[in-house]
Amino acid sequence: MTEQVQDNMHEQVQEVLEKLRPFLLRDGGDVELVDIEDGIVKVRLMGACGSCPSSTITLKAGIERALLEEVPGVKEIEQVF
């Protein structure tokens, strides 16, 4: 992947996360983009989201679904700690 394509994907992922952030903040959590590697978006769930039993659902059904729909090249999302 070229650096320009990588930078563009990074920007698009950040835009999607910004759209989702208010919902996470409302529940006392947040999300941070850590890295994007070969279409795998690595994020860190913070605050209440980091320890919530529903965080896997939030990650896969919420954040991953939005990224797959809105950002070309995203393959999956992975949580890092």
When divided into structural domains, the chain yields a total of 1
Q: 0.85 cut: is pTM over it? A: yes
State how far the Cα of 5 lies from the Cα of 10, in Å rounded to an integer.
9
Quick one: pLDDT at residue 70? Answer: 96
Domain with 61, as residue range(s), is: 3-79
State how far the Cα of 34 lies from the Cα of 30, in Å rounded to an integer.
13
Which pLDDT tens digit goes with each residue over 4-63?
777 899 999 999 999 999 999 998 999 999 999 999 999 999 998 888 788 888 888 899
- Per-residue pLDDT band for 1 (boundaries 50, 70, 90) equals low
Contact at 8 Å (CB) between 27 and 63?
no
- Residue 75's domain is classified under what CATH number? 3.30.300.130
Average pLDDT over residues 73-81: 94
Counting Cα atoms < 13 Å in the Cβ hemisphere of 13 gives 25
Torsion of CA 14, 22, 54, 49, to 10 degrees: 80
